[in-house]
Amino acid sequence: MDFTPVIEGFEVLLQPENLLFCLIGVVAGMAIGVLPGLGPAATIAILLPLTYSMDPIPSIIMLAGIFYGGIYGGTVTAVLLKLPGETASAITALEGYPLAQKGQGGKALGVGAVASFIGGTVSIVVLTLVAPVIAGFALEFGPPEYTALTLLGILLVATIGNGSKLKALAGAALGLLLATVGRDAFTGELRYTAGNLELTDGLQFVPIAMGVFGLAEILYNLERRRKSTSMPVATDRVLPSKATMKESAAPIGRGGVLGFLLGLLPGGGATVSAMASYGIEKRLNKGSTPFGKGAIQGVAGPETANNAAATASFIPLLTLGIPANATMAVMFSALLIQGITPGPQLVATDPDLFWSVINSMYLGNIVLLILAIPLIGVFVRILYVRSSILSPIIVLIVCIGAYTISNRIFEVMVVIVFGVLGYLMKKYGFDPAPLVLAFVLGSLLEDNFRRSLLMFDGDVTRITGHPIAMTLLGLFLLVVLIPILLKLAKARRPDLVGADQTTAGAGAKVPASVAAGTGTGPDTSASPDGDPQDHPPKGSEEAPDEGSGPGGPSRP
């Protein structure tokens, strides 16, 4: 491979003028992205006009800045206010927000920035080296493959919640049900729309997430504040400490790999990658902080995965001309405006532009890290505003954010309805996360499953002709079966429990750790984390025995 264009590209980029545009892009991206409800796609769309009259190269550089700034902006609101701008940052909120409540918002944002930087940069490096080679992978991923992947994702969601499994399941079921609202994409039939035209396209993710996470949180806090006044605790350091980075290193590594691979897929790859990373880290967690209470690993892993995936999704765009998600669709039109047609021919016909797109991403990512760290201190100060002042402002911004989704008051209503629902759920011990995540995966699963059936002419067995889908389904089965088998084995041999826990390790292979991690036992904190292959054979091969059902008491 010839690296001359790569190097030459950098010479252009590093001119002071271009650096300035990158800086402006990152700042503007962060400033808009920090508004609740405005994810990277919306942020880029809003700031796009800034680039209209610019030359291609500075404008691409600025877009890269806006892209990374926008993604990080979403992280900031997810952590500090529990207001995610998109699915991926909804995962970050799960651990980031508890951290912020404990006064460690700076730590969460700092790790988030570092994790994002690493995830993004690793992805770009791989992109630089092998983009054309692996691009074809994206095309292999059709409806059957997606069906299998989503099934795996739903299994992870089922265990993502904290607290009662039954309540998590109830939330997930409601999420799946909500996903069916709207026009049936296959028959045109309207489902649960009650004759309301606004519902024909179904409910949207962002207002639901803003409602059950953000608004619900405000309502809940109002009530709690009356009972006991608790303000966020004092400030903390912004730069992640050595200990924090040590804790985060492994999750970042795993999240990066996961995010890159899943980010290549057109569609829900980025979302599933953040969820998968969270699921894995939760199972592998050995840290002092349990998940759900502000475990930094739950920020580091998903943030890396999210950013690695976001960057990896440039590969199908630049090499195949396929915008893999909403953000890429906006980037696609942004590049078109500059006269750049992303697609199979871009590298061949216009290598200079191709490499400047890639190189600007390096630059955008670095500038983001440099800018984010000092700004975190400013962002965190938001939390010290008295909630009697802050809450109304947030509610106002949430309403504006919801309105701008499609310029309709309807979405504001959705936020309010789901805000009340989220408040009630929280009050009665239902975790809203399974609802939101099942909602996202529900429509993915339904559409792709039905699409697969149509492709197969109704013959399910034809999925055997799809090796990737079969592999994923095999993993799914492992995830379901292994915990049951392990539990059966342990019910007979309680002495093996100890062995399980010592063999668990960060070096566990990803699929295996997912498998072992999704135990359905009633007591998750004590469920085995181990790589099943390390399990003593005599234990794992024990056949199910009478009197030791899955529900039986497994340990003291």
Per-residue CA distances from 14 to 7, 10, 20, 60 (Å): 11, 6, 10, 14
CA–CA gap between residue 164 and residue 429 (Å, rounded): 8
Judged by CB under 8 A, how many residues of this single chain contact another protein?
82
Each residue 82-121 as x (binds another protein by CB under 8 A) or -, in order, gives ---xxxx---------------------------------
CB of residue 46 to another protein, shortest distance in Å? 4
For residue 377, how far is the Cα from the chain centroid?
Answer: 24
Q: Please pick, from the candidates 109, 174, 203, 210, the single residue that binds another protein as defined by CB under 8 A.
A: 203
Q: Which residue, 270 or 482, has its beta carbon nearer to another protein?
A: 270
Q: Please pick, from the candidates 1, 2, 11, 188, the single residue that binds another protein as defined by CB under 8 A.
A: 188
Q: Please pick, from the candidates 12, 173, 177, 190, the single residue that binds another protein as defined by CB under 8 A.
A: 190
**In sequence order, what DSSP letters do the residues of 424-468 get, joined into one string?**
HHHHTT--HHHHHHHHHHHHHHHHHHHHHHHHTTT-GGGGGG-HH
| Amino acid identity, position 210 | M
Closest CA to 168 of 158, 176, 155, 177: 158
Closest CA to 84 of 214, 195, 227: 214
Q: Please pick, from the candidates 132, 321, 505, 511, the single residue that binds another protein as defined by CB under 8 A.
A: 321
Q: Which residue, 99 or 212, has its beta carbon nearer to another protein?
A: 212
The residues in 141-170 that bind another protein, with binding defined as CB under 8 A, are 141-143, 146
* Contact region with another protein (CB under 8 A), list: 41-49, 389-397, 473-481, 482-490: 41-49
Tell me how crowded residue 382 is: count the other CB atoms within 10 A of its CB. Answer: 18
Each residue 341-370 as x (binds another protein by CB under 8 A) or -, in order, gives x-xxx-------------------------
SS3 546: coil
CB of residue 180 to another protein, shortest distance in Å? 12
298 contacts another protein (rule: CB under 8 A): no
The residue length of the chain stands at: 556
CA–CA gap between residue 478 and residue 329 (Å, rounded): 36
CB of residue 429 to another protein, shortest distance in Å? 28
Q: Please pick, from the candidates 353, 440, 475, 478, the single residue that binds another protein as defined by CB under 8 A.
A: 440
Give, as one character, the DSSP assignment of residue 142. Answer: -
The residues in 326-345 that bind another protein, with binding defined as CB under 8 A, are 326-327, 329-330, 332-333, 341, 343-345
> Under 8 Å CB-to-CB from 256, ≥6 apart: which residues?
118, 119, 122, 123, 304, 305, 308
* DSSP element (H, E) containing 183: strand 182-183
The residues in 43-82 that bind another protein, with binding defined as CB under 8 A, are 43-50, 52
CB of residue 411 to another protein, shortest distance in Å? 8
* Contact region with another protein (CB under 8 A), list: 437-445, 482-490, 505-513, 542-550: 437-445
180 contacts another protein (rule: CB under 8 A): no
> Under 8 Å CB-to-CB from 210, ≥6 apart: which residues?
36, 37, 83, 84, 398, 401, 402, 415, 418, 419
The residues in 379-408 that bind another protein, with binding defined as CB under 8 A, are 401, 404-408
Do the Cβ atoms of 250 and 287 come closer than 8 Å?
A: no
CB of residue 523 to another protein, shortest distance in Å? 34
* Contact region with another protein (CB under 8 A), list: 245-253, 368-376, 381-389, 446-454: 446-454
